[in-house]
């Protein structure tokens, strides 16, 4: 193909380092073809945006359809390699996970009752009709700069525009994207010089001389060419097409020399947007909704130019027993490339139809229909939010090293976890436990609900008392733990772990509704802050700030501490006397500072999670999700004591009864070992075999050796094991204050 | 940056009929978070006395766990660019969903809107809406 120049070029683009001229209105692909080239080294050119045969790297972005890209002065185009994929762009920072994203893509949003995609005759008709019905209508067409690349739930229509992304919220979407032309599949279909009928019309209209052109099938309108009949057998040529070989009804092959082969082989609906919108109010109109005849079953040649799948590859996977369209696609990769079946889809269906005897539906499509950049895909998306307690800045001011735990920023330590540890064991310390789940349950059926939910008895908890509880699922597996605090006959406060709070809330609500129980539920997790005052001097500190008679162990009450109304709960996770002060989040800083000030001469220190995890480990207290596994039963955790099997019923009881008599090979044990604690997750060895792993470990400053919780998963359970190359002993927790005197003091 | 201030009021969880029947002082803002859950900005527990009578097990507590700010036209339009869901067009309207990836709520009146979120999200919401003030 070559140009017959009629005017001065409108400008130049740079292709593979060489400047080439373009005319006004040219796309990049047309400009390249005007200069006698091929936008991708070879393959049928459709100029309709449906195939991969014009994709190139444009201004550094690979996989750009150059037939849909206007030529502009100085545009830098690098063609994809003839074989293989374009390489990743070189970045100064070799660790691509840390390469900062510099391309900011903005997102704008709009809404309309009806979004019509495509402004051809059927799109215009649909839009006119919807407007007449009084709907607000938005018409989006790639040729107007609104390239729809995806439809998501809502439905939300994702549009790529030169100025950024547009997300359109619609009540209904009408896809009027027309039909794509079918590409030839036969030997030689990767040569240059093969164009579809519509592409030929475009090239001719652009003033490009197609040379000695022949047309097979539906001829292009107004394009000088020689029509030939028959079915294409192959294209011949070296690099470029030099002849088309066809066969007619007489089975005689006819070779027709040419420099351009124009193929009009029929149409296939451009329905990809609809095929990615299952269950959404998305409809097809016009040619996009039509059922076209499939092409003949391909017998040789490249079916899928994106993934370089040949017909013999399809035959291979069929022979191996993949006999459904989706399976053939997955096994051969045909249809998984950048055009998502735009070229290969009709041929793949024809192949399966021929071999199975039944015409299959086209496969589901996935967003996006076009290659979009990571910046476009991630435009205006955000990372997960990690919540901040009201004491966040206090922790920072005290040198807190904050990290993300259970959906919150929490202090890991304040510089030296051992100093914090000793403050808890010997004096008094504050811990920020604002992150704990806190649920109020109130109503005539509150007791009934909690009796059914928890494997412990609830009715006998007196107002002002609390109890430690496990939360089990129907399979008897531990999903969370916490406290039940009874306030009145019909009102309770439940606490949950920080990371499990959101699920626990849904769990409680869901069961209350399922059982039709009359309760009110209020989640106060984010409205209330909580400070844990813990240590042998905790009560002394609280007396100094106005809590004259702190509650006894497992008691709770509402009182005022340092002038701040608090729900004071006496419990213990650290092994020392502990008082959780639940209070309004906006009073938290005031309370924290008052406690820190009042405890100055008592040696008060804040403690972070690092110290807390060690303190509780010395007591053998389990952390759900850290020590427990997804299928941990109370028996496996050695926590049968927290389950009252003589209760009439509770969630998980049936499963526990059923499995109680079955042998079990998993158990959480305590371990002790000389020296420093091994890394959590370390394998546990016995007789040269791995028999479990360490779930939690801590080098106890008080005990002077390592304490651990870990899983043994082979019976008989050994009493001596090796961890980290050292001897370790199975030991029954608690490792510290086994009678719990300090917590009750 | 948006200045998100603590919103003081009461939170009431009660039977929907008790909440429907309640009346609140003129200077309060009533946000029906769920059929059985209301956050009344500017109200005190005494204002919920009628509900406590109608539903003895109603949960009525002082609430200071939300932060928010009032937005006028331009600021609301800017915030709307960070919203992926359909903003109601009728007024007044209450809507809940992600704003800039943060769980938030909007109370939309004729001439302004209250943007609010739980206080643990305040920092991120404010940071992500820099320039929307
Ligand atoms: S030539 Fe551009 S998509 Fe087919």
Q: A385 φ, ψ to 5°?
A: -90, 135
Angstrom distance (rounded) from CA A435 to CA A697? 23
What letter does residue B37 receive in the DSSP assignment? Answer: E
CB B120 within 8 A of CB A526: yes
Look at residues B66, B83, B105 and tell me which one is the last residue of a structural domain: B66
Give yes or no for residue A58 having a pLDDT over 90.
yes
In this structure, what token pair is assigned to residue A287?
């040619």
The Cα A151–Cα A276 span in angstroms is 7
Q: Is A154 on the interface with B (CB under 8 A)?
A: yes
Residue B133 lies in a domain: no
Same domain assignment for residues B55 and B76: no
Band the pLDDT of A98: cuts 50, 70, 90: very low
Q: Report yes or no on A205 lying in a domain.
A: no
Q: Is any Cβ of chain A less than 8 angstroms from the Cβ of B83?
A: yes
Number of domains into which chain B is organized: 2
Per-residue pLDDT, A9: 84
Same-domain check for residues B51 and B101: no
Contact call for residues A519 and A441 (beta carbons, < 8 A): yes
Q: What is the pLDDT of residue A93?
A: 53
H runs (alpha helix) in A194-307: 197-205, 272-275
Q: Are residues B59 and B90 in the same domain?
A: no
Quote the CA–CA distance of B17 and B58 in Å, as a whole number.
12
Q: Are residues A335 and A459 in the same domain?
A: no
Question: Same domain for A424 and A532?
Answer: yes
Identify the closest residue of chain B to A519 by CA–CA distance. B57
Q: Which residue is it, tokens 């800017």?
A: B78
Domain with B33 in it: 5-66
Q: Is A109's CB within 8 Å of B83's CB?
A: yes
B120 burial type by CB count under 10 A (0-12 exposed, 13-18 middle, 19+ buried): buried
Q: Establish if A105 belongs to a structural domain.
A: no
A499, A532: one domain: no
Cβ contacts of residue A137 below 8 Å, gap of 6+? A112, A113, A114, A115, A116, A127, A130, A131
Within a domain: residue A346? yes
Q: Is A41 exposed, middle or buried (0-12, 13-18, 19+ CB in 10 A)?
A: middle
Residue range of the domain that includes A724 = 663-745
Mean local confidence (pLDDT), A419-434: 98
Question: Rounded to whole angstroms, how far apart are CA atoms A126 and A120?
Answer: 10
Closest CA to A322 of A312, A330, A333: A330
- The overall average pLDDT reported for chain A is 95
Task: For residues A518 and A565, state if they share a domain.
Answer: no
Residue A687: both structure tokens together: 């007789």
> Is the same domain home to B78 and B40?
no
Answer whether residue A654 shows pLDDT above 90.
yes
Other beta carbons within 10 angstroms of residue A268's beta carbon come to: 27
CB A643 within 8 A of CB A446: no
Please give the average per-residue pLDDT across A214-226, as a whole number. 97
Q: What residues contact A667, with CB distance under 8 A and at least 6 apart?
A: A635, A636, A638, A711, A712, A717
DSSP A124-153: HHHHHHHHHTT--EEEE-GGGT-EEEEEET
Closest of A149, A179, A198, A188 to residue A45, by C-alpha: A198
Q: Is A163 on the interface with B (CB under 8 A)?
A: no
B125 lies in some domain: no
Residues A427 and A534 in one domain: yes
Predicted complex: ipTM over 0.85: yes
Both A419 and A541 in one domain: the answer is yes
Same domain? For A445 and A586 the reply is no
Interface test with A, best of B9, B18, B36, B65 (most A CBs within 10 A): B65
A8 C-beta neighbours (distance < 10 Å), count: 8
Taking residues A10-21, report their average pLDDT. 96
Half-sphere exposure of A708 (CA within 13 A, CB side): 33
d(CA A564, CA A590): 8
The A residues from 244 to 303 touching B (CB cutoff 8 Å) are: none
Q: Are residues B77 and B53 in the same domain?
A: no
User: Does B10 touch chain A if contact means CB atoms closer than 8 Å?
Assistant: no
Q: A524 to chain B: which residues are within 8 Å by CB?
A: 61, 65
Which of helix, strand or coil describes residue A559? strand
Among B13, B82, B121, select the one facing A387 at the smallest CB separation: B121
Nearest of B119, B14, B31 to residue A528 by alpha carbon: B119
With CB atoms and an 8 Å threshold, state whether B36 touches A169: no
- Residue A491 forms contact with B (CB below 8 Å): yes
Does one domain contain both B42 and B21?
yes
| Ordered DSSP codes for A388-400 | --TTHHHHHHTT-
Kindly give the distance from the C-alpha atom of residue A45 to the centroid of ligand 1, in angstroms, as a whole number: 5
Mutate which: B81, B120, B127, vs A, most A CBs within 10 A: B120
Tens of pLDDT, residues A566-587: 999 999 999 999 999 999 999 9
Per-residue pLDDT of B50-105, as tens digits, reads 999 999 999 999 999 999 999 998 899 889 888 888 888 899 999 999 999 999 99
pLDDT category at A6 given cuts 50, 70, 90 is: low
- Whether A547 and A420 share a structural domain: yes
Mean pLDDT of all residues in A194-218: 97
On whether residue B12 sits in a domain, the answer given is yes
* A115: pLDDT strictly greater than 80: yes
Question: Are residue A342 and residue A401 in the same domain, yes or no?
Answer: no
Interior angle at CA A674, CA A670 and CA A675, nearest 5: 115
Q: What is d(CA A697, CA A192) in angstroms, rounded to the nearest whole number?
A: 67
Domain membership of residue B42 (yes or no) is yes
* Chain B CB within 8 Å of residue A107 CB: yes
Structure tokens at A561: 């501490």
Question: Under DSSP, is residue A53 helix (H, G, I), strand (E, B) or coil?
Answer: coil
Answer yes or no: is B127 within a domain.
no
User: Which pLDDT band, with edges at 50, 70 and 90, does A89 fall under?
Assistant: low
Residues B21 and B45 in one domain: yes
Smallest Cα distance from A529 to chain B, Å: 9
Tell me which residues have their CB closer than 6 angstroms to ligand 1: A 29, 45-51, 53-54, 65, 67
- Position in ligand 1 atom list of the atom nearest CA A50: 3
All residues of chain B having their beta carbon less than 8 Å from the beta carbon of residue A526 are: 65, 118-120
A418 shares its domain with A443: no
Q: What are phi and psi of A689, to 5 degrees?
A: -115, 145
Residue A28 pLDDT class (50, 70, 90 cuts): very high
Average pLDDT over residues A733-739: 96
* Residue B86 with chain A: CB contacts under 8 Å: 111, 154, 169
Contact A383 B101 (CB under 8 A): yes
Torsion of CA B5, B10, B12, B18, to 10 degrees: -120
Q: Do A527 and B118 touch (CB under 8 A)?
A: yes
Residues 6 or more apart in contact with residue A213 via CB below 8 angstroms? A200, A223, A224, A225, A226, A258, A259, A260, A261, A262
Is residue A578 within 8 A of residue A737, CB to CB? The reply is no
Q: Nearest chain B residue to A565 by CA: give it.
A: B62
Which of A437, A526, A530, A564 best tests the B interface by mutation, with the highest count of B CBs <10 A? A526
Q: Tell me which of B22, B50, B66 is where a domain ends.
A: B66
Any domain includes A267: no
> Least CB-CB distance to B62: which of A444, A520, A584?
A584
How would you classify residue B131: left for phi > 0, otherwise alpha for psi between -120 and 50, otherwise beta? left
Structure confidence at residue A100 as a pLDDT band (50, 70, 90): very low
CA–CA separation, A571 vs A630, rounded Å? 26
**B132 assigned to some structural domain:** no
Domain count, chain A: 5
Using the beta-carbon criterion (under 8 Å), do B119 and A526 form an inter-chain contact?
A: yes
Out of A596, A629, A654, a domain closes at: A654
Q: Among B50, B66, B82, identify where a domain stops.
A: B66
Is A557 part of a structural domain of the chain? yes
- Shortest CA gap A385–chain B (Å): 7
- Angstrom distance (rounded) from CA A193 to CA A205: 17
Ligand 1 closest atom vs CA A49 = 3
Instruction: Please report which confidence band the pLDDT of residue A411 belongs to, taking 50, 70 and 90 as the band edges.
Output: very high
* A50, A70, A77, A147: residue to mutate for ligand 1 pocket, most atoms within 8 A of CB: A50
Token output for A612:
């807390």
Q: What is the CATH number of the domain that holds B57?
A: 3.30.70
Which residue's C-alpha comes closest to atom 3 of ligand 1?
A49
Distances (CA, A) of A579 to A233, A367, A525, A694, A744: 86, 53, 18, 30, 11
Instruction: Answer yes or no: do B50 and B31 share one domain.
Output: yes
Judge whether A226 lies within some domain.
no
Q: What percent of chain A stands above pLDDT 70?
A: 97
Q: Is the pLDDT of residue A5 over 60?
A: no
Confidence check: pLDDT of A280 > 50: yes
Question: Distances in Å between the alpha carbon of A79 and those of A28, A54, A61, A145, A290?
Answer: 11, 9, 11, 23, 35
Q: Return the pLDDT at A581.
A: 98
Which residues lie below 8 Å from residue A688, measured CB to CB, with a gap of 6+? none
Q: A295 CA distance to ligand 1 centroid (A)? A: 20
- Count of CB pairs separated by less than 8 Å, A with B: 96
Q: What is the pLDDT of residues B6-42, one digit of tens each?
A: 999 999 999 999 999 999 999 999 999 999 999 999 9
Q: How far apart, in whole angstroms, are the C-alpha atoms of residue A4 and residue A6?
A: 6
What pLDDT is recorded for position A473?
Answer: 98
Is B53 found in the same domain as B10?
Answer: yes
Asked if A460 and A323 sit in the same domain, the reply is no
**Prior bond to A368 cis, omega within 30?**
yes
Identify the H or E element spanning A326. Answer: helix A325-332
Contacts of B103 in chain A (CB under 8 A): 385
Shared domain check, A15 and A57 = yes
Q: Which of B59, B85, B119 sits opposite A390 (nearest CB)?
A: B119
The SS3 assignment for A744 reads helix
Q: Which residues in chain B belong to E strands, given as ranges? A: 5-13, 29-34, 37-41, 59-71, 93-99, 102-108, 113-118
Question: By the CB < 8 Å criterion, does A558 face chain B?
Answer: no
Which ligand 1 atom lies nearest to the CA of residue A67? 2
Q: In the predicted model, is pLDDT for residue A102 greater than 80?
A: no
Does B31 reside within a domain?
A: yes
Strands, sheet with A18-22, edge to edge from the N-terminal-most edge strand: A18-22, A11-15, A76-79, A55-58, A61-65
Q: Is A387 on the interface with B (CB under 8 A)?
A: yes
Q: Is the pLDDT of residue A92 over 80?
A: no
In a domain, A744, yes or no: yes
Look at residue A369 and give its three-state secondary structure: coil
């Amino acid at each position: 193909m070559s140009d017959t120049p009629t005017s001065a070029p409108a400008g130049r683009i740079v292709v593979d380092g060489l400047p080439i001229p373009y005319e006004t209105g040219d796309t990049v692909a047309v400009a390249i073809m005007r200069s006698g080239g091929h936008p991708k080294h070879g393959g049928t050119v459709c100029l309709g945006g449906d195939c991969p045969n014009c994709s190139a790297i444009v201004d550094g972005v690979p996989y750009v359809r150059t037939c849909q890209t206007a030529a502009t002065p100085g545009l830098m185009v690098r063609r994809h390699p003839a074989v293989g994929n374009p390489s990743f762009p070189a970045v100064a920072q070799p660790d691509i996970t840390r390469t900062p994203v510099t391309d900011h893509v903005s997102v704008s949003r709009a809404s309309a009752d009806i979004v019509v995609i495509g402004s051809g005759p059927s799109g215009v008709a649909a839009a006119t009709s919807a407007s007449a019905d009084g709907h607000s209508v938005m018409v989006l067409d790639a040729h107007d700069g609104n390239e729809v690349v995806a439809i998501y739930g809502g439905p939300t229509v994702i549009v790529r525009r030169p100025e950024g992304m547009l997300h359109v919220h619609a009540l209904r979407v009408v896809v009027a994207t027309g039909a794509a032309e079918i590409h030839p599949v036969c030997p030689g279909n990767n040569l240059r010089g093969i164009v579809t009928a519509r592409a030929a019309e475009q090239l001719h209209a652009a003033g490009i001389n197609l040379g000695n052109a022949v047309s097979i099938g539906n001829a292009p309108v107004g394009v000088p060419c020689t029509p030939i009949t028959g079915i294409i057998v192959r294209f011949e040529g070296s690099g470029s097409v030099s002849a088309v070989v066809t066969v007619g009804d007489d089975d005689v092959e006819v070779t027709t020399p040419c420099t351009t082969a124009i193929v009009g082989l029929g149409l296939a609906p451009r329905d990809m947007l609809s095929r990615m919108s299952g269950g959404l109010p998305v409809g097809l109109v016009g040619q996009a909704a039509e059922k076209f005849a499939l092409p003949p079953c391909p017998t040789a040649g490249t079916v899928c130019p994106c993934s370089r799948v040949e017909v013999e590859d399809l035959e291979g996977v069929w022979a191996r027993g993949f006999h459904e369209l989706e399976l053939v696609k997955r096994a051969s990769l045909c249809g998984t490339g950048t055009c998502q079946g735009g070229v290969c889809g009709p041929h793949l269906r024809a192949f399966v139809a021929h071999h199975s005897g039944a015409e299959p539906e086209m496969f589901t499509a996935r967003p996006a229909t076009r290659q979009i950049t990571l910046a476009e895909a991630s435009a205006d998306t955000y990372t997960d939010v990690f919540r901040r307690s009201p004491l966040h800045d206090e922790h920072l001011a005290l040198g807190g090293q904050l990290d993300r735990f259970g959906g919150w920023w929490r202090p890991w330590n304040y510089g030296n976890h051992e100093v914090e540890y000793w403050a808890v064991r010997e004096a008094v310390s504050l811990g920020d436990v604002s992150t704990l789940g806190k649920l109020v349950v109130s109503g005539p059926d509150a007791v009934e609900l909690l009796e059914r939910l928890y494997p412990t008895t609830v009715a006998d908890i007196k107002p002002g008392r609390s109890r430690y509880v496990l939360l089990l699922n129907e399979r008897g597996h531990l999903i969370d733990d916490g406290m039940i605090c009874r306030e009145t006959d019909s009102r309770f406060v439940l606490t949950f772990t920080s990371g499990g709070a959101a699920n626990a809330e849904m769990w409680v609500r869901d069961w209350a509704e399922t059982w039709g129980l009359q309760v009110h539920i209020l989640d106060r997790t984010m409205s209330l802050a909580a400070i844990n005052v813990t240590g042998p001097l905790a009560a002394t500190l609280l007396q100094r700030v106005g809590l004259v008679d702190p509650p006894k162990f497992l008691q709770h009450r509402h009182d005022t501490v340092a002038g701040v109304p608090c729900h004071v709960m006496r419990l213990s996770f650290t092994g020392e006397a502990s008082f959780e002060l639940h209070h309004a989040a906006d009073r938290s800083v005031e309370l924290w500072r008052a406690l820190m000030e009042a405890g100055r001469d008592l040696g008060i220190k804040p403690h972070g999670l690092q110290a807390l995890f060690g303190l509780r480990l010395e007591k053998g207290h389990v952390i759900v999700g850290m020590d427990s596994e997804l299928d941990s039963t109370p028996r496996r955790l050695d926590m049968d004591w927290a389950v009252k099997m003589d209760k009439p019923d509770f969630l998980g009881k049936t499963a526990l009864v059923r499995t109680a008599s079955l042998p079990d090979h998993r158990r959480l044990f305590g371990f002790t070992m000389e020296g420093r604690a091994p890394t959590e997750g370390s394998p546990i060895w016995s007789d040269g075999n791995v028999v479990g792993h360490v779930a939690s470990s801590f080098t106890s400053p008080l005990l002077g050796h390592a304490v651990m919780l870990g899983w043994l998963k082979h019976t008989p359970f050994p009493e001596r094991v090796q961890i980290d190359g050292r001897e370790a002993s199975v030991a029954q927790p608690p490792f510290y204050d086994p009678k719990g005197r300090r917590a009750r003091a | 940056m948006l200045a998100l201030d603590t919103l003081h009021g009461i939170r009431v969880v009660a039977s929907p009929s008790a909440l429907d029947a309640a009346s609140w002082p003129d200077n309060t803002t009533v946000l029906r978070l769920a059929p059985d859950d209301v956050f009344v900005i500017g109200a005190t527990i005494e204002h919920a006395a009628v509900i406590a009578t109608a539903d003895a097990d109603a949960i009525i507590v002082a609430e200071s766990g939300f932060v928010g700010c009032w937005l006028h036209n331009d600021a609301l339009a800017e915030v709307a660019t960070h919203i992926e869901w359909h903003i109601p067009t009728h007024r007044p309207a209450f809507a809940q969903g992600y704003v800039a990836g943060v769980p938030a709520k909007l109370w939309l009146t004729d001439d302004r809107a209250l943007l609010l979120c739980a206080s643990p999200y305040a920092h991120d919401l404010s940071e992500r809406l820099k320039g929307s003030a």
